[in-house]
Each structure stands twice: as C-alpha cells, then as structure tokens.
A = this chain, B = another copy of it.
Amino acid sequence: MNEPIYAGIDAGGTEFKCIVATGPDRVLVHEKIPVADPATTLAACRDFFLRARQEHGEFAALGIASFGPIDLHKDSPTFGFITSTPKPQWSNTDLVGYFRDALAVPIHFDTDVNGALLAEHRWGAARDLHSVVYVTIGTGIGAGVMVDGRLLHGRMHPEAGHMLVPRYTGDPFSGACPYHGGCLEGLAAGPALQQRWQQSPLSLPDSHPAWELQAHYLALMCVNLTLMYSPQRILLGGGVMERAVLLPLVRQAYLAQINGYVGDQRAEVENFISAPGLGGRAGALGAIALAQQS
C-alpha cells in the first residue's frame, strides 16, 4: 500500500469530475460536481479533496484537465487560468492558483482533451504509439494531440475543432459556431446536429441521412488531422460517437476523401480511426495521468 495517491479534476463545461486514485485499477473515491459559479464549484471540489485526504492520506500531486481556452505557459501571469471562455462568469478563473492555495500539492495542468489522450496513451487505445490524435465530438469538438511522444501545445494549445472545412455540396445549413459559422464544430458538433435537423440527435434513426452527412464531415476532419499531424491513430470519442452506425461510415468516407495520398490504408483503417479504449472514464483518468506527469 505504498503506491502514491493522485488527485484529479476533469473540469468540464457542465460538471467537474473529481477523483482520487492510484491509477485506473484503484479508484479510491470520486464525485461529480455540477458547474455553478466558479467560487461555489471550486469550493465544492476543495471540500471533496480535503475529505478524501483525511480518509486516504496525502496526494502526491493533483492533475487538472480543463475545458478551454486555458493558459498553459508557466511563465505567463495568467498561467493556470481559464482565459476567454464564452461560459458566463468563468472567464479569467485561476484554477491552478486556487488549488495550490487550497491543497498545497504539485499541480499539472492541461486541456481536457490532452488529459484524455494521455490516459488513452497510458492505459487505453493509444498504448505503444508515439503520434495520436484524440477527438471528442459532443457539445463542442476538441482535439488532444500527441506527436513524436509529446503532447502538443504551441503558443496556446490546438483548437482543431474549429478548422475550416469544405461545405458538402448543397448543404444549406449555415453553421452554429458563434465565431466562424460553418467551421467543423459549427457543422458537426451536437448543437449543430440539433439545429440542422430541428430535433435531438438521439431521436434521429440510424437510417436518417443525418448520419451519412455527419460521417462526411468527420471524415474531412480525419483527412485534415492526418495531413497536419501524421498520426498513427485517430481516436473518436464524445457523445455524438455513441451512435454506433457512425464510426464505420466515417472510415469509409475517409478512405474515399484521402484517396490513398498517405499510402493504401484500406487494410488498416479500422485501427487507424477507432474508438477510445477508456470510454467515459478517459476524462477523470486523464486528470490522474496528468497528476502522474507532475
């Protein structure tokens, strides 16, 4: 029982998943805290961790995997902040500072999608790979990227979900992104599906043309991810991908669109574009994986 104990927060737009674990096989305690204003939400997380610490002992580190945009540059005055999010009240929220003061443990901070990707790399469907993209298609579209064994950050962090892609011929939907209208997220995230078809995506039957069109756009995304990052595998997760009919359609459309440009991928496409291995656990385990990086 000498394994180090890690704390994690998967900070999402609707709930913060708090977890205390030694790894994926030994979760000591976890709790979902619904998002209210920052002060209330962060205090509830703090109280959870203080209770957990009393019961299970000191944490080796805390990992925070957060929705964005966030500031990841350690030399920046706003390092550890959620920065200019459109989410009411959450702009300029100092996540790292709050928990450094509250818990006094080392903290590792990254995007939610980079966290999930790291968990998939360590324990899930990206083991033994050095270059992988993890995409979540849900309320928004976000991508975590590992290239040559390292999580990609750059000046800020990738926002690949907003990439500009060709409109499907004759598609009349103008797009749902407040910044770019018909960027990828504006055309293919959950709210776009809802707006385009004027009903919940959950109520669209498998035979509905919505899914073929959705696969078309996600295949365009996979083509651009492949050309830009040269990954060994692309993992597609998030609520929208729970529709089982979608993944095979995406693979088929991808092969047609990339047209053999990076070699004949027909035999490997099921490995190349695939489902995450950790399912709904990737977010919280991502925070643990980040804590272990610390």
A219-247 interface bits toward B, Cβ cutoff 8 Å, 1 = contact, 0 = none: 01001100111111000000000000000
Question: B167 near A165 (CB under 8 angstroms)?
Answer: no
Shortest Cβ distance from A263 into B: residue = B84
A2-22 interface bits toward B, Cβ cutoff 8 Å, 1 = contact, 0 = none: 000000000000000000000
Question: B155 near A131 (CB under 8 angstroms)?
Answer: yes
Supply 6 A–B pairs (Cβ within 8 Å), ascending by A.
A148-B154, A154-B229, A158-B228, A158-B229, A164-B166, A179-B259
Size bin of chain A's contact surface: 35 or more
Expressed in whole angstroms, the Cα–Cα distance for A159 and B260 within the complex equals 13
Question: A154 near B131 (CB under 8 angstroms)?
Answer: yes
Question: B261 near A179 (CB under 8 angstroms)?
Answer: yes
Interface residues of A, Cβ cutoff 8 Å to B: 69, 84, 131, 147-148, 150, 152-160, 162-167, 179-180, 182, 220, 223-224, 227-232, 257-263
Question: B147 near A154 (CB under 8 angstroms)?
Answer: yes
Shortest Cβ distance from A152 into B: residue = B147
Number of copies: 2
Across the interface, A224 reaches (CB within 8 A) one of B164, B182, B259, B263, namely B164
Expressed in whole angstroms, the Cα–Cα distance for A150 and B224 within the complex equals 21
Residues of chain B with a CB closer than 8 A to A230's CB: 152-159
- Given A156-B230, A164-B257, 14 extra CB contacts under 8 A: A131-B154, A147-B154, A153-B230, A158-B228, A160-B228, A163-B224, A163-B228, A164-B165, A164-B223, A165-B165, A166-B166, A180-B257, A224-B224, A228-B228
Residues of chain B with a CB closer than 8 A to A166's CB: 164-167, 182
Question: A160 near B227 (CB under 8 angstroms)?
Answer: yes
Question: B131 near A162 (CB under 8 angstroms)?
Answer: no
Residues of chain B with a CB closer than 8 A to A148's CB: 150, 152-154
Residues of chain B with a CB closer than 8 A to A220's CB: 164
Question: Residue among A162, A167, A182, A257 with the most chain B CB within 10 A?
Answer: A162
